[in-house]
């Protein structure tokens, strides 16, 4: 039986008025004992003393099976498991501390360790190394930050690290239970076998992954959490050279609900759909320059929202840095509360406490944030105006308290970010209505055709701006024509205000921000009034020397 | 002085692998599928412009296990099986092909490896994956060859204009081996026990106890007609203890046992005693005085000497370093000339599977270019005779001698296998220490050195840097004229190859094996080196790099462990 303790405590200045039961297990015993020792004894001569310490342990388990053209990859690993540890240490005082300052803005991350031994002493040893290293680093940052603030004449009106009521969330951690191995293998084989016999496909593979991340968190103000975050997904991948000789690939990630059996048919259908798109891509025409309305399908719309909204509503408190005056990681909307940032055909909400969507576990689920504050639901955009920002204990410069949106991972110390983002149409249209509206707008602009994008460049590091799956839809007769090799030109936040309509087909996608924090996005198809499309610069490849076997 | 015959050593200490587990190469399913695809592709590829004039496939099936323990808990426990393919396509002609180093591109040895689908059924998925990899390799080779052609227009005259490739002889060989088998539960219990043994010692800042097994089979098919299947196996029980002094010097004590059978593992008593010894050494080192730069006579203990030979001489006799003008070519023109003390003969013999009961990691039957391994006498009584050769010929050495080696994902070049140092005259080790004392007194030095253990080192072979080496001893003693020994910390060995090797005055009869992994242009490959302890007339010691960060403020938590796990 699953036991859940959901206790949100009222704590003043980080001091608990009522004690919630700290889980009695090896992880919390080790964290507590090492935290107590460190805060009591960790000092360097003439250095600032540590006043805040937080530990996060993550027990990561994964099992994947993959197959290509109906045959398993000859690669087998037993479930991979690692215990990872992270420490956040602040030195000085809450009014004036060592955090929020960096010399290199690409590096504002907690100290971490990837293979902590699974024993009480092993965990304490790992945490000791992280704490000691974190303290020496914090001492140095504290001195540098004070020197920088003196040099720039910066004074604090608000504390660097505000006190906040601390919360806790404790849930019994279930053992990692992947599907039976044989079943995963059989499914991967069945899905990938659908690509067999398709002459132009150079590869067609299916990977099935089961992941569980068990989180254990404790901070020195009394906040803590313990819960498991499961995730199950299928990745389909098709690789080909299309008729024009261009090397193209299609990738689809399908999140699975806990009751994955019920989803088998849907996955099968999506596999068939991907193969259909591959067939279209094989025969597709190369794109030509275009400027006009574009209909984004839910998947493309999610990337659009991530790139233009989610990334700009993050890291609300800019970092101080001696290297650069402006913090490039800070979201562009951080000081635009009350301003119009989006079309009023949709509202945007953030729901960190929502655990599932149609049975699929959400990637942004966060009952208590990484500063120990209970996470709150936010109305991010309402009536087109930016309404609420994610806030942390460090973004209290306007006197606003944290709303429990400090998120950290291995690449960033706790900073403000959204979690599970829901874009809701005020007057949702059916798919047919959306297409009709697109065509009507195209006719109004006297265009021969306009575009439906089925994917959108995510703008993530390491990816180019090329869209593989798109269609032209002709104004004259509604005829559709597959197109490949598009890139989006000069996209700006202006496009958010150009949304003309939203569909009734909201779909769940997962994404990450540049700091690799995970988000869930539930977004319907969106009609955007103007996006500029250019043909990509990619050149055709030669035909294979030898035909496929 | 005691004389040992070379033949005696070969028969007494080393075991070449007897022919066992031989199989029928034509019945091997991977060979059948690879051959089908190679024949089909090569027919077309050789007619392309530029021509793909040589094609080979290496298909490797691996089975790996890793167990790592610290502080009484498991940090890592992995088991995985993989099968991957590497394709070598050569575009152009043997005279000049795509593998030639460009003027401005020093280190392009990357070669992709592809995870393969299972072989069962009609093999179509497997063959499709081979076809895909072949297409990509051929395209890459042609692109690289175009760059080589363009580069050669404006390249200075090469001092060695040998061909880029010599076709390897056609070979057929097939051998299988029973999988290694170990009692992993017993080993886990041993590692956990050992890891708890170091708790309570504040000077041990980190520790790790591990057991790894890597085994599998390699299948090789090429356009010359070579068809091979060879097994490989490595297993290692090891530990590392780390410390740091207040002035920032990192200290390490470690031990590794390479084994191929359960019976070759140390007993629990032996293993725990070794950990205790290392613990005592680490404590001694943490309180030891720091070494001062100086030149003095020294003994290089056997395993330290093995590393010394590998780094200082071994890398400099790798064939490709004699060809490329980017290298210092220390020994290129010295064939037939004395290069080391006449006391020493140096042979690289990858065909040896064991030495004195210790499995050799540098053992292999065929190299990564499909050429049969064979012993190569590099130095005979001090005189340079040979180089280690891959299929890239050099002036005076037109053929491979079976030393083309690479890590998966890299293109092979000439590398070492089992490098053996054989002394024509030896003395018991105790006598070597007496000789060191006499040498210290003769030179009027305040003390000499005994280099007990080395963790590794590096050697500069490029012309852009001095032709020097630096080795990192982990345990060094000063030996005073009155016979007193004192551990010192922070001593590095430095020198240049032509001088250092001529300083060998005597050797002991205590041959030992250093098993390790060697990293160079073609990646990490398992190697062994075997050597006796030697007396050097002079060895230069300099201070080691120190960490500029403070050591930990608090002692490790388990330093005050009073009993029981919580």
Model pLDDT for residues A155-175, shown as the tens digit of each residue: 877 899 999 999 999 999 999
ipTM over 0.95: no
The whole-number pLDDT of residue A461 equals 45
Q: Is the pLDDT of residue B368 over 90?
A: yes
User: Which residue on chain B is closest to A185 by alpha carbon?
Assistant: B118
Residue A60 sits at the chain B interface (C-beta within 8 Å):
no
Hey, are the CB atoms on B37 and A70 less than 8 Å from each other?
no
Q: Give me the mean pLDDT over the B305-316 stretch.
A: 91
Return the pLDDT at B101. 84
Domain annotation covers residue A141: yes
The answer to whether residue A39 is domain-embedded is: yes
Does any CB of chain A come closer than 8 Å to the CB of residue B560? no
Statement: residue B469 has pLDDT above 80: yes
The values of phi and psi at residue A515, to 5°, are -90, 10
The verdict on A81 touching B (C-beta cutoff 8 Å) is yes
What is the average per-residue pLDDT within B289-318? 93
Using CA atoms, how far apart are residues B105 and B107, in angstroms rounded to an integer? 6
pLDDT band at B324 (very low <50, low <70, confident <90, very high): confident
Q: Does A103 score more than 70 pLDDT? A: yes
Q: Nearest 5°: phi and psi at B493? A: -95, 130
**Domain that includes residue A56, residue range:** 4-62+78-178+215-229
Q: Which residue has the higher pLDDT, A80 or B45?
A: B45
Cβ-Cβ contacts under 8 Å, B117 against chain A = 67-69, 71-74
* Partner B contacted by A546 (CB < 8 A): yes
Structure tokens, A418:
């959204």
pLDDT at residue number B534: 97
Q: Does A544 touch chain B (CB under 8 A)?
A: yes
A41/B206 Cβ within 8 A: no
- pLDDT tens, residue by residue, A359-410: 999 999 999 999 999 999 999 999 999 999 999 999 976 678 999 999 999 8
A190 touches chain B (CB under 8 A): no
Query: With a CB-CB cutoff of 8 Å, which residues 196-225 of chain A face chain B?
Result: 196, 202-203
Q: Which residue of A has its CA nearest to B558?
A: A121
pLDDT, averaged across chain B: 91
Band of the pLDDT at B2, cuts 50, 70, 90?
Answer: very low
Nearest CB among B82, B116, B557 relative to A124 is that of B557
pLDDT at residue number B547: 74
Residue B454 has pLDDT above 50, yes or no: yes
Residue A106: per-residue pLDDT: 67
| Interchain contact B69–A (C-beta under 8 A) | yes
In this predicted structure, what is the pLDDT of residue B17? 53
Q: Which of A445-449, A497-501, B108-112, B127-131 has the lowest mean pLDDT?
A: B108-112
Total residue count of chain A as it appears in this document = 549
Residue B8 pLDDT exceeds 70: no
- pLDDT band, residue A14 (cuts 50/70/90): very low
Are A117 and B40 within 8 A, CB to CB?
no
Chain B residues closer than 8 Å to A38 by CB: 554
In this prediction, residue B19 carries a pLDDT of 52
Kindly determine whether residue B138 and residue A545, on different chains, have CB atoms separated by under 8 Å: yes
Stretch(es) of chain B classified as CATH 3.30.2290.10: 21-287
Q: What is the reported pLDDT for B550? A: 80
Residue among A70, A78, A136 minimizing CB distance to B125:
A70
Whether residue A15 is contained in a domain is answered as: yes
Domain-embedded: residue A280: no
- For the cut 80, the answer to whether the pLDDT of residue B325 exceeds it is no
A29 contacts in chain B (CB < 8 Å): 566
Please give the pLDDT value at position A235: 95
* CA separation for the pair B195, B424 (Å, rounded): 43
Asked if the Cβ–Cβ distance from A37 to B554 is below 8 Å, we say yes
Give the integer Cα–Cα distance in Å for B91 and A333.
Answer: 54
Given this model, what pLDDT does residue A156 score? 77
CA nearest neighbour of B70 among B189, B208, B244: B208
Q: Would you state the pLDDT for residue A26?
A: 97
B75 and A41 in contact by Cβ < 8 A? Answer: no
Q: Suggest the residue from A115, A121, A548 to mutate for an interface test with chain B (most B CBs closer than 10 A).
A: A121
Residues 6 or more apart whose Cβ sits within 8 Å of residue B482? none
Rounded average pLDDT over B378-391:
96
Q: How far apart are CA B432 and CA B410, in angstroms?
A: 43
Fold classification of B21-287 is: PmbA/TldD fold (3.30.2290)
Percent above pLDDT 90 for chain B: 77
Identity of the residue in A30, A75, A545 whose CB atom sits nearest the CB atom of B115: A75
Handedness of CA B308, B312, B315, B317 (dihedral sign): negative
Cα–Cα distance, B447 to B430 (Å, whole number): 17
The mean-pLDDT minimum among A251-265, B247-261, B439-453 falls in A251-265
pLDDT at B330: 80
Whether A93 is covered by a domain: the verdict is: yes
Stretch B2-29: mean pLDDT, rounded? 59
Q: E strands, A458-536, where?
A: 466-467, 470-474, 480-484, 486-488, 499-502, 507-512, 518-523, 526-535
A298: pLDDT strictly greater than 50: yes
> What is the arithmetic mean of pLDDT over A256-275?
89
DSSP per-residue string spanning B490-536: SEEEEE-HHHHGGGEEEEBS--EEEEEEEEETTEEEEEEEEE--EEE
Per-residue pLDDT, A17: 37
Written as six digits, the tokens of A10 are 């009222």
Where would I find the beta strands (DSSP E) of B162-282? 172-174, 206-222, 227-244, 250-259
pLDDT digits (tens, 9 = 90+) for A438-450: 999 999 999 999 9
> What pLDDT does A540 receive?
87
- By Cβ distance, the residue of A44, A121, A136 closest to B71 is A121
The pLDDT value recorded for residue B298 is 96
Looking at residue A205, what is its pLDDT? 96
Number of domains present in the structure of chain A:
1
Per-residue model confidence (pLDDT) at position B496:
83
Helices (H), B288-367: 302-312
């Amino acid at each position: 039986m699953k036991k859940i303790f959901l206790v949100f405590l009222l704590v003043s200045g980080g001091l608990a008025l009522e004690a919630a039961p700290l889980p009695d297990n090896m992880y919390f015993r080790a964290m507590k004992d090492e935290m107590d020792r460190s805060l009591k004894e960790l000092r360097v001569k003439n250095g600032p003393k540590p006043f805040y310490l937080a530990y996060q342990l993550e027990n990561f388990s994964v099992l994947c099976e993959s197959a290509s053209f109906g045959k398993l990859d000859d690669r087998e690993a037993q479930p991979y498991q690692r215990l990872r540890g992270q420490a956040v240490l602040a030195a000085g005082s809450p009014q004036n501390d060592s955090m929020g300052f960096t010399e290199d803005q690409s590096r504002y991350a907690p100290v971490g360790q990837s293979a902590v031994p699974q024993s009480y002493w092993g965990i304490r040893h790992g945490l000791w190394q992280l704490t000691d290293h974190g303290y020496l680093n914090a001492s140095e940052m504290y001195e540098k930050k004070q020197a920088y603030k003196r040099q720039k004449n910066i004074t604090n009106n608000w504390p660097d690290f505000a006190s906040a009521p601390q919360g806790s969330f404790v849930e019994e951690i279930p053992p990692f239970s992947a599907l039976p191995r044989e079943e995963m293998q059989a499914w991967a084989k069945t899905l990938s076998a659908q690509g067999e016999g398709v002459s132009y496909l150079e590869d067609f593979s299916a990977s099935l992954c089961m992941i569980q991340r068990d989180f254990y968190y404790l901070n020195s103000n009394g906040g803590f959490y313990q819960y498991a975050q499961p995730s199950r997904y299928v990745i389909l991948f098709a690789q080909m050279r299309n008729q024009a000789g261009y090397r193209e690939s299609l990738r689809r990630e399908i999140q699975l609900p806990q009751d994955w059996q019920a989803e088998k048919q849907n996955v099968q259908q999506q596999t068939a759909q991907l193969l259909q798109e591959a067939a279209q891509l094989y025969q597709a025409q190369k794109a030509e320059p275009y400027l006009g309305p574009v209909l984004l399908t839910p998947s493309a719309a999610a990337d659009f929202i991530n790139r233009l909204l989610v990334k700009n509503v993050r890291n609300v408190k800019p970092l101080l840095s001696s290297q650069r005056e402006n913090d490039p990681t800070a979201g562009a909307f951080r000081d635009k509360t009350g301003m119009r940032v989006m079309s009023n055909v949709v509202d945007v909400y953030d729901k960190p406490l929502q655990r599932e969507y149609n049975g699929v576990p959400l990637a942004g689920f966060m009952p208590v944030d990484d500063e120990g504050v209970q996470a709150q639901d936010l109305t991010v955009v309402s009536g087109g105006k930016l309404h609420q920002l994610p806030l942390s204990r460090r973004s209290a410069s306007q006197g606003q308290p944290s709303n429990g949106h400090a998120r950290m991972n291995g690449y960033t110390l706790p900073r403000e970010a959204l979690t599970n983002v829901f874009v809701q149409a005020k007057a949702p249209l059916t798919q047919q209505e959306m297409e009709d509206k697109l065509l009507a707008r195209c006719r109004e602009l006297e265009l021969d055709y306009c575009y439906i994008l089925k994917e959108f460049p995510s703008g993530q590091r390491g990816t180019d701006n090329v869209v593989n799956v798109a269609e032209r839809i002709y104004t004259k007769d509604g005829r559709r024509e597959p197109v490949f090799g598009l890139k989006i030109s000069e996209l700006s936040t202006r496009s958010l205000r150009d949304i003309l309509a939203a569909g009734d087909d909201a779909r769940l996608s997962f994404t990450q921000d540049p700091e690799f924090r995970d988000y869930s996005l539930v977004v319907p198809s969106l009609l955007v009034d103007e996006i500029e499309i250019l043909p990509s610069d990619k050149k055709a490849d030669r035909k294979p020397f030898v035909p496929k076997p | 002085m005691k004389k040992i015959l070379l033949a005696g050593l070969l028969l007494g200490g080393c075991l070449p692998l007897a022919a066992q587990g031989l199989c029928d190469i034509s019945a091997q399913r991977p060979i059948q599928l690879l051959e089908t695809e190679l024949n089909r592709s090569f027919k077309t590829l050789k007619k392309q412009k530029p021509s793909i004039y040589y094609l080979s496939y290496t298909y490797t099936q691996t089975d790996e296990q890793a167990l790592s323990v610290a502080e009484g808990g498991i940090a890592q426990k992995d088991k995985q099986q993989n099968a991957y393919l590497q394709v070598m396509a050569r575009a152009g002609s043997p005279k000049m092909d795509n593998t030639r180093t460009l003027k401005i591109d020093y280190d392009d040895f990357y070669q992709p490896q592809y995870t393969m689908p299972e072989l069962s059924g009609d093999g179509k998925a497997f063959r499709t994956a081979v076809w895909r990899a072949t297409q990509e390799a051929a395209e890459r080779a042609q692109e690289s060859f175009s760059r080589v052609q363009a580069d050669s227009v404006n390249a200075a005259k090469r001092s060695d204009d040998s061909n880029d490739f010599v076709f390897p002889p056609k070979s057929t060989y097939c051998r299988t081996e029973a999988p290694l088998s170990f009692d992993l539960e017993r080993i886990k219990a041993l590692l956990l026990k050992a890891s708890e043994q170091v708790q309570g010692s504040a000077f041990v800042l980190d520790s790790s106890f591990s057991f790894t097994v890597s085994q599998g089979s390699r299948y090789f098919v090429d356009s010359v007609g070579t068809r091979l299947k060879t097994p490989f196996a490595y297993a290692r029980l090891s530990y590392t203890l780390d410390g740091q002094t207040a002035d920032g010097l990192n200290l390490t004590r470690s031990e590794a046992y390479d084994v191929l059978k359960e019976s070759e593992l140390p007993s629990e008593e032996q293993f725990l005693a070794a950990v205790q010894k290392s613990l005592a050494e680490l404590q001694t080192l943490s309180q030891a005085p720091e070494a001062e730069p100086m030149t003095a006579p020294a003994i290089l203990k056997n395993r330290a000497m093995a590393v010394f030979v590998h780094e200082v001489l071994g890398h400099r006799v790798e064939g490709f370093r004699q060809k490329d003008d980017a290298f210092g070519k220390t020994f290129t023109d010295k064939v037939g000339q004395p290069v080391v003390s006449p006391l020493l003969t140096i042979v690289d013999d990858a065909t040896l599977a064991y030495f004195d009961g210790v499995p050799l990691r540098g053992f292999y039957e065929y190299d990564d270019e499909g050429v049969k391994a064979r012993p190569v006498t590099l130095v005979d009584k001090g005189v340079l005779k040979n180089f280690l050769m891959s299929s890239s010929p050099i002036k005076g050495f037109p053929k491979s001698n079976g030393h083309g080696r690479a890590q998966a994902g890299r293109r092979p070049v000439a590398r070492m296998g089992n490098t053996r140092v054989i002394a024509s005259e030896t003395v018991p080790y105790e006598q070597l220490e007496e000789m060191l004392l006499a040498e210290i007194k003769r030179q009027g030095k305040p003390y000499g050195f005994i280099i007990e253990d080395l963790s590794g080192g590096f050697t500069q072979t490029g012309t852009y840097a001095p032709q020097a080496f630096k080795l990192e001893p982990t345990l060094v003693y000063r030996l005073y004229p009155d016979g007193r020994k004192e551990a010192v910390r922070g001593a590095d060995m430095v020198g240049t190859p032509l001088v250092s090797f001529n300083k060998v005055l005597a050797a002991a009869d205590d041959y030992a094996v250093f098993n390790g992994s060697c990293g160079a242009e073609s990646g990490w490959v398992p190697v062994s080196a075997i050597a006796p302890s030697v007396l050097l007339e002079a060895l230069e010691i300099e201070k080691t790099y120190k960490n500029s960060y403070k050591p930990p403020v608090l002692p490790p938590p388990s330093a005050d462990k009073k009993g029981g796990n919580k």
